[in-house]
């Protein structure tokens, strides 16, 4: 993905001008959702009052869940909001030193990393060692694979009271939906990076916007700067309810069961697409990338109530990212693809 000399356009899956597709393969929300208990708590949220502006109880609950100090928890209106805010911080810090902040982006990645960098004037570099802000995602999007390139400083020792000079943000959006494999980072390495969590995908509640980040150890100054850049009440009561529910044992048990179901659906979906001649790339997550054997008429597919995500905007032209959906949705897609293949052969 590049942003030098051209405007980066925002492209997303999910709802569009035609509304919500009946069979939506374009968004990676947990197809087993919504999580019943999470949905209940969101629906019961008291919208007649502001949430606590300091979110003290919520931050403590999230900190307890991750076994970290609550002062390391930074709430955000969404993952995208945090992406823009920490990009703003990188620009602000560099400008104060009379420099231009440099950012490193994975070759295939969520477009908002580049869009935020462009908005704040960050210069993209190819060498991760030269960047002040670095982005990682595991499982990655769109590939659903392990992150490929980690900066060398993650393996170097640092003062116990001094975090690394560069800010590396690990986007954990799909970590709760990882169906196999383990994290590439050790606990010691994770304490050197920002970990950005967005539970709404895992809970099947992407319409509820709320996220949080866990700061690296001893990054108090950066935390305070990010808090200063945030608007008041960045998370509304629905987001607060979802995040409180996220850390509950029964919600995590539901999530574990959903991963087992998703794994079974994934194997079915992969097998059928391969039988239809699709080239499917390996993935650890509840989605994968695949290339069709012939051109796909996306408008016709969308008119039939089926939506796919072209991955060109994610740095992978020629492929589609497909979420794992239940058998009924899969069968609708397969039937449409088979009809198209038969028509092409006539």
Per-residue pLDDT of the chain (346 residues; tens, 9 = 90+): 444 445 555 777 777 877 888 999 999 999 999 999 999 999 999 999 999 999 999 999 999 999 999 999 999 999 999 999 999 999 999 999 999 999 999 999 999 999 999 999 999 999 999 999 999 999 999 999 999 889 989 988 665 556 677 999 999 999 999 999 999 999 999 999 999 999 999 999 999 999 999 999 999 999 999 999 999 999 999 999 999 999 999 999 999 999 999 999 999 999 999 999 999 999 999 999 999 999 998 999 999 999 999 999 899 999 999 999 999 999 999 999 998 777 666 5
The CA distances from residue 259 to 119, 252, 289, 327, in Å, are 36, 11, 19, 15
Asked if residue 239 lies in contact with residue 207, where contact means CB atoms within 8 angstroms, the answer is no
User: What is the pTM for the complete model shown?
Assistant: 0.93
Q: What is the distance between the alpha carbons of residues 130 and 151, in angstroms, rounded to a whole number?
A: 10
Residue among 212, 234, 233 nearest 223 (CA): 212
Q: Provide φ and ψ at 328, rounded to 5°.
A: -60, -40
Residue among 2, 211, 6, 212 nearest 106 (CA): 2
DSSP for residue 54: T
Asked if residue 285 lies in contact with residue 28, where contact means CB atoms within 8 angstroms, the answer is yes
| pLDDT of 16 | 82
Partnered with residue 104 across adjacent β-strands are 134
CATH number of 36-248: 3.40.640.10
Residue-wise over 108-137: b if at least 16 C-beta within 10 A, else e? bbbbbbbbbbbebebbbeeebeebbbbbbb
Q: Give the H or E element holding residue 160.
A: none
By the 10 Å C-beta count (0-12 exposed, 13-18 middle, 19+ buried), 145 is classed as: buried
Q: Which residues contact 229 (CB under 8 A, 6 or more apart)?
A: 85, 88, 89, 92
Sorted by where each begins, the domain ranges of the chain are 23-30+251-345, 36-248
Give the side-chain half-sphere CA count within 13 A for 24: 17
| pLDDT of 1 | 43
Q: What is the distance between the alpha carbons of residues 6 and 121, in angstroms, rounded to a whole number?
A: 13
Q: What is the distance between the alpha carbons of residues 57 and 267, in angstroms, rounded to a whole number?
A: 41
Q: What is the CA radius of gyration of the chain?
A: 21
| pLDDT of 155 | 87
Three-point CA angle 75, 120, 110, nearest 5°: 65
Q: What is the distance between the alpha carbons of residues 336 and 346, in angstroms, rounded to a whole number?
A: 16
| pLDDT of 2 | 44
Largest CA distance in the chain: 70
Partnered with residue 149 across adjacent β-strands are none
Residue among 232, 245, 111, 85 nearest 167 (CA): 85
Q: Which residues contact 63 (CB under 8 A, 6 or more apart)?
A: 69, 70, 72, 73
Q: Which residues contact 183 (CB under 8 A, 6 or more apart)?
A: 138, 175, 190
Helices (H), 97-236: 111-119, 187-190, 199-203, 220-229
| DSSP secondary structure letters along 150-188 | --GGGGS---TT---SSEEEEE-TTGGG--S---SS-HH
Asked if residue 110 lies in contact with residue 171, where contact means CB atoms within 8 angstroms, the answer is yes
The correct answer on CATH 3.20.20.140 for the domain covering 23-30+251-345 is: no
């Amino acid at each position: 993905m590049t942003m030098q000399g051209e405007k980066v356009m925002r492209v997303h899956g999910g709802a569009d001008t035609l509304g919500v597709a009946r069979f939506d393969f374009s968004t990676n929300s947990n197809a087993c959702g919504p999580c019943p208990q999470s949905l209940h708590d969101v629906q019961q949220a008291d919208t007649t009052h502001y949430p606590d502006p300091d979110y003290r109880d919520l931050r403590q609950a999230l900190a307890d869940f991750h076994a970290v100090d609550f002062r390391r928890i930074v709430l955000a209106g969404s993952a995208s909001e945090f992406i823009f805010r920490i990009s703003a911080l990188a620009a602000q810090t560099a400008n104060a030193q009379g420099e231009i902040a440099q950012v490193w982006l994975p070759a295939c990645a969520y477009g908002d990393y580049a869009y935020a960098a462009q908005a704040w004037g960050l210069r993209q570099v190819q060498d991760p060692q030269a960047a002040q802000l670095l982005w990682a995602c595991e499982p990655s999007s769109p590939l659903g694979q392990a992150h490929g390139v980690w900066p060398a400083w993650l393996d170097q020792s640092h003062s116990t009271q001094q975090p690394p000079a560069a800010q590396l943000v690990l986007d954990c959006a799909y970590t709760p939906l990882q169906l196999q494999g383990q994290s590439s980072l050790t606990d010691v390495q994770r304490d050197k990076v920002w970990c950005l969590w967005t539970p709404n995908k895992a809970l099947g509640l992407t319409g509820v916007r709320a996220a949080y980040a866990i700061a690296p150890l001893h990054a108090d100054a950066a935390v305070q700067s990010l808090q200063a850049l945030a608007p008041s009440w960045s998370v509304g009561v629905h987001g607060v309810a979802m995040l409180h529910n996220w850390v509950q044992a029964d919600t995590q048990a539901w999530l574990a069961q959903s991963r087992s179901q998703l794994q079974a659906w994934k194997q079915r979906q992969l097998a059928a697409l391969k039988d239809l001649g699709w080239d499917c790339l390996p993935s650890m997550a509840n989605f994968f990338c695949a290339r069709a054997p012939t051109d796909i008429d996306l408008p016709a597919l969308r008119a039939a109530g089926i939506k796919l995500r072209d991955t060109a905007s994610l740095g992978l032209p020629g492929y589609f990212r497909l979420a794992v959906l239940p058998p009924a949705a899969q069968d609708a897609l397969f039937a449409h693809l088979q009809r198209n293949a038969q028509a092409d052969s006539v």
